[in-house]
Amino acid sequence: MRFASFEAARYRACAPRLLRLRAIALALRGPPTLIERSYSPERLYNNRKMKVLYLKEADVERLVAVPEVIDVLDQAFRDQATGRAFTNPRTRLRMRGGTLHMMAAAIPGYFGYKAYTVAAGKARFQFFLFEAQTAELVAIMEADRLGQIRTGAATGLATRILSNPDAAEAAIFGTGWQAETQLLAMDAVRNLKRVWVVNRSPERRETFIAKMQDHVKARIAPAGSAEQAVRSSQIVTAITSSREPVFRGEWVHAGQHINAVGGNMLLRREIDDETLLRAHRIVVDSLDQAKNEAGEFLGVIETGRLHWEDFVELRDLAAGWKPGRTSSEDITLFKSQGLALEDVAIGKLVYERALERGMGARLEI
């Protein structure tokens, strides 16, 4: 009891001084920040019911197109270079029968994440957009089309920075759904005269050409062979799920730019070691993600023929901190993995346009 009484007396004696110190600290600190106010119990309680905009695949397709979002990604990568935007590598959770993939990023004013599941050969994509200042969920989108557009636009940005401006012919390996926006992106950033299409199936090749010809300025033609397509082109884009290289490095020539887009798993490999070793500049959208997903790099890294320090991130080129090419004779290569940064940047544009045009449905959450 005597000890307790002593402690109480000491507290009473110190209390005025402690209160003065607390008042000074609060005065120096200033009022609560907007972010702190958004996390107050009262605000969280009041916002338990939110009106969230829901957009379907058809809405996304009507609101944005590949050529116009290339500049959107350019700005997003510039923001990342200057510390105003951030992206996390993709993570995967595998269970018997299915896999959950997740990726998140933040840009000025917004942050968001994409989650997609793959099971029994089928995939479903959803994108979630949050307003940064209020931390409120503002939109949910079906995101398969969003992913197709952003993947094509990233290739367009890299091609605009890395390829020679006078490139007139291009080759595309692959004729699937993703190949469509790859073609649109190349055609948007260069005045192409001809695009050679490579696919082992003549039927798929012809179907692709018939579908896409009216959407591009260039003339699309079936390639006589993979070698002919590569040797004839100044730009080569591979968008396949191949586990083996789709062309040989010996066919690559001076001044060429190559986009390797199809593989985002270590088991996939569209380009060979010789192509990598001949390249004067190798660019990735994210080094962290490339280390986890770029199967093309495994051999040259493990044998010490290339090192991670040899690669450049796309953000450094977009910001102008490093050159894309130093000569018209350089061979350049872009290895695309696909980033959440791209999803959030384009998702923001989709959301804002949907609000302007009154599109989408409102969900109470």
pLDDT, residue 45, reads: 45
CATH 1.25.40.10 fits 154-339, yes or no: no
- The tens digit of pLDDT for each residue in 197-229 reads 999 999 999 999 999 999 999 999 999 999 999
Considering only the top CATH level, what class is 51-147+342-364? Answer: alpha beta
pLDDT, residue 123, reads: 87
- The tens digit of pLDDT for each residue in 307-319 reads 999 999 999 999 9
Domains 51-147+342-364 and 154-339 share a fold: no
- The tens digit of pLDDT for each residue in 279-297 reads 999 999 999 999 988 888 8
- The tens digit of pLDDT for each residue in 246-267 reads 999 999 999 999 999 987 776 7
Task: Grade residue 233 by pLDDT with cuts at 50, 70 and 90.
Answer: very high
CA distances from 258 to 233, 280, 298 (A): 10, 11, 18
Q: Given the DSSP bridges, would you call strands 219-222 and 194-198 parallel, antiparallel or unpaired?
A: parallel
- The tens digit of pLDDT for each residue in 161-185 reads 999 999 999 999 999 999 999 999 9
Please state, in angstroms and rounded to a whole number, the distance separating the CA atoms of residues 183 and 161: 16
Q: Where are the domains of the chain?
A: 51-147+342-364, 154-339
pLDDT, residue 31, reads: 60
The residue that leads in pLDDT, 33 or 282, is 282
pLDDT over 70, % of the chain: 86
pLDDT, residue 122, reads: 87
Buried b (16+ CB within 10 A) or exposed e, 150-167: bbbbbbbbbbbbbbbeeb
Helix, strand, coil share of the chain (percent; to 5): 45, 25, 30
pLDDT, residue 1, reads: 44
Res. 27: pLDDT tops 50? yes
> What is the mean pLDDT of the segment spanning 52-77?
97
Please state, in angstroms and rounded to a whole number, the distance separating the CA atoms of residues 125 and 84: 26
